Structure 1
């Protein structure tokens, strides 16, 4: 069931009557503003460097050093 040219015309007329010309143009302006803000945000993200991932810090003492410390305490 494909709407023909008359069906599309009737749907467009009903939408125009329900919302009015002013509301439709306001909605289109808001949609355009949202698209512009999205594009601006995407462009700003491209300019920023990617945050460096911190490498995990090495433990102050290794396991073997910790065992040696424990042995010295026992003695």
Structure 2
């Protein structure tokens, strides 16, 4: 004794009447963007943990960028 299609249609109709189609579309878009962002951050996190050398590379790149930025700041002053 599950939920029938008619019960789902009635609930959907009530939700549309309460929120309107534009509001539901905005909610769906925001929810989809949040899910995409979450999946992207999870895949980025997985790729970082899979390659232990990636952390060392990141630190080396940051040190290199910091050393390049220091002379630029001196020339601006």
Find the aligned partners of 2:2 and 2:44 in 1 and give their Cα distance: 43
Determine which structure has more spread, i.e. the larger CA radius of gyration: 1
Q: Does 1:40 align with 2:35?
A: no
Structure 1: runs of 5+ lacking an equivalent: 52-75
TM-score normalised to the size of structure 1? 0.56
Mark the CA change 1:45 to 1:5 in structure 2 (over 3 Å): closer, same or farther.
Answer: closer
Count of paired positions:
52
Give the CA RMSD over aligned residues.
2.1
Structure 2: runs of 5+ lacking an equivalent: 56-77
Q: Which runs of 4+ in 1 moved over 6 A?
A: none
Structure holding more helix per residue: 2
Q: Does 1:8 align with 2:23?
A: no
TM-score normalised to the size of structure 2? 0.55
